[in-house]
Amino acid sequence: MVRTVSGQPGRIPGPEDPASPAGPAGRRSPGRRSPGRRSPGRRDVPGALPRAREFIRRRRLTPYLLLLPSAVAIGLLLFWPTIQIAEFSLQNYGLPQVTGVAPTQWVGGANFSAILSDPEFWLSLRISLIFAAVVVPLTLLTGTLVGLLINRLGPKMAAFVSSTALLAWATPAVSASVIFIWLTDPDGGVVDWALSKMPSWLGGGAHWAGFSWTNAPLPAYTLLTVLVVWQGFPFVAVTVLAGLKTIPAELHESARVDGGGAWRIFWRVTYPLLKPIFLVLLLLSIIWDFGVFTQAYLVTGELGNRDEYNLGIYAYDRAFTLPPSYGVGSALALILTVILLIITIGYVRASVRQGAIQ
């Protein structure tokens, strides 16, 4: 007997029929699961992401997570080469080892002993210290004065002076060195000619004609000092100018009303507010000027006079002149790094003590 659906005899219920168990009301989509069933191997973690966010918020880890990609890049580009240099410093590493002709020879601290027992190392260290002690204050003083001057100029003149000064900072070190060598050339250099025409009571005279600025340490480093200061002061000036723009004009105006002069206003108002900037400029200037190589290498005559070597030239000479000794050069690089780290740690401690860094 044929079943009837909804009072219609002779009709067999099909899948599309609402009364059929497989119809729209009872049909299950292939991609849907009934509540209470889980696919095997899958765990529900509805609260994992909120818990992670709450943990990061409580621990204040957001800045560190944002810095993590940069830290990884710095580690790959800086720390890994440093580890390799430290490894080379403990080896007798030269051309035979680079080409594979001779095996690697571990010598321990022999490279460091050879450097510390070399009188030329101590001479170059003394020259580097004296040079940095002279150049760094001169660069900071010149840049600060220029920054204060630009701050008092009108907008158009300030833009012109800033752009002109930055040309010196943007000049490549090799080009600037060649220009200064040409200016002080004994055969027709502008500097010797100008000094020979000056009156004797200003230090001029005929004895300046044909004077060589690169054959002795004192004149060579005098020329190098002028060159490095000329290239370095624009950066200091623009940085100081940017700091001056952040100081409210009311503070200077109040100081003038109270009878303060320019010198007193600078030390009582401007310098305390810009002290963190000056500390950063001091550290950067020490790092840049302590191991200056390009300008010193060209001005002193390209390894011509050994009594004019600073640490940069001395390291280059020991590492790359024939026969090259990359192990000794790596040891010198580590010594220079340690010296700069000591200076940096001293800077950070001074900054914390003075409240520049919290």
Segment 255-277 mean pLDDT: 83
> Which CATH code of 1.20.1250.20, 1.10.357.10, 1.10.3720.10, 3.30.70.20 fits the domain covering 110-354?
1.10.3720.10
Asked if residue 224 lies in contact with residue 305, where contact means CB atoms within 8 angstroms, the answer is no
Dihedral angle computed from the Cα positions of residues 79, 84, 90 and 94, in that order, rounded to the nearest 10 degrees: -140
pLDDT score for 138: 95
Residue 318: band (very low, low, confident or very high) from pLDDT cuts 50, 70, 90 = confident
Segment 16-41 mean pLDDT: 48
Segment 191-195 mean pLDDT: 86
Segment 283-288 mean pLDDT: 88
In the predicted structure, residue 352 carries a pLDDT above the cut 50 = yes
The pLDDT tens digits for 203-215 are 777 778 888 888 8
Bridge partners (DSSP) of residue 5 are 8
Distance CA(154)–CA(163), nearest Å, equals: 14
258 SS3 class: coil
pTM of the model: 0.74
DSSP 8-state code for residue 308: G
pLDDT score for 134: 94
Q: Which two tokens stand for residue 72?
A: 């990884």
pLDDT score for 235: 92
Q: What burial class does residue 246 get, using C-beta atoms within 10 Å of its C-beta: 0-12 exposed, 13-18 middle, 19+ buried?
A: exposed
Residue 26: band (very low, low, confident or very high) from pLDDT cuts 50, 70, 90 = very low
Using only the alpha carbons of the chain, give its radius of gyration.
Answer: 36
204 SS3 class: coil
In the predicted structure, residue 353 carries a pLDDT above the cut 90 = no
Closest to 338 measured CA to CA, from 125, 117, 48: 125
In the predicted structure, residue 355 carries a pLDDT above the cut 90 = no
Q: Where are the domains of the chain?
A: 110-354
Distance CA(52)–CA(34), nearest Å, equals: 30
Distance CA(84)–CA(352), nearest Å, equals: 33
Average pLDDT taken over every residue of the chain:
80
The pLDDT tens digits for 239-254 are 999 888 888 888 878 8
Residue 269: band (very low, low, confident or very high) from pLDDT cuts 50, 70, 90 = confident
